[in-house]
Amino acid sequence: MILYLTSYPNTYWAKERSLYEIKKSIENSVCFGAYLDGKQIGFARVITDKTIFSYLLDVFIDEKYQGKNYGQFFLKEIYNHPHLIQVKKHYLHTKDAQRFYEKFGFETYPNPKRFMIKTN
């Protein structure tokens, strides 16, 4: 799946990462896979303290299975996971899937000027 992520056109977030960075990020996250008939069709990872916050990122459903409700089922399963069900605030950053995530209660960050980033 790691090599697939780096070469798949819709995983814009994986294209800019080395294999080492992808492996390390997976090792240090709560990871989820979506499977159909024994074949992996999706992936997501979450960074969380399991109480106050979670940050969903690197969500992927193979384009052959998009638009068939697999993504919705996958996200529901992720947020019903024991590590996430009691978390108070869930965050994510998306380039182009705002409408999809709104169905799950995500909304635009209320005060974006409070959100900061430091890049190395």
- On the question of pLDDT at 9 being above 80, the answer is no
Q: For residue 50, with 0-12 CB atoms within 10 Å meaning exposed, 13-18 middle and 19 or more buried, which class applies? A: middle
In this prediction, residue 7 carries a pLDDT of: 52
In this prediction, residue 5 carries a pLDDT of: 56
Q: How far is CA 14 from each of CA 11, 20, 21, 86, 114, rounded to the nearest angstrom? A: 5, 11, 9, 29, 27
Angle in degrees, CA 78, 65, 101, rounded to 5: 45
Q: How far is CA 37 from each of CA 1, 32, 113, rounded to the nearest angstrom? A: 16, 16, 45
CA atoms of 100 and 77, how far apart (whole Å) = 15
3-class SS of residue 45: strand
- On the question of pLDDT at 93 being above 80, the answer is yes
In this prediction, residue 68 carries a pLDDT of: 96
Q: What are phi and psi of 62, to 5 degrees?
A: -50, 135
CA atoms of 94 and 108, how far apart (whole Å) = 11
Exposure string of 86-107, with b = 16+ CB inside 10 Å and e = fewer, is: ebeebebeeeeeeeebeeeebe
In this prediction, residue 21 carries a pLDDT of: 84
Residues 100-117, mean pLDDT to the nearest whole number: 91
Cβ(33)–Cβ(42) under 8 Å? yes
Query: pLDDT band at 60, cuts 50/70/90?
Result: confident
Residues 32-56, mean pLDDT to the nearest whole number: 94
Percent of the chain at pLDDT exceeding 90: 59
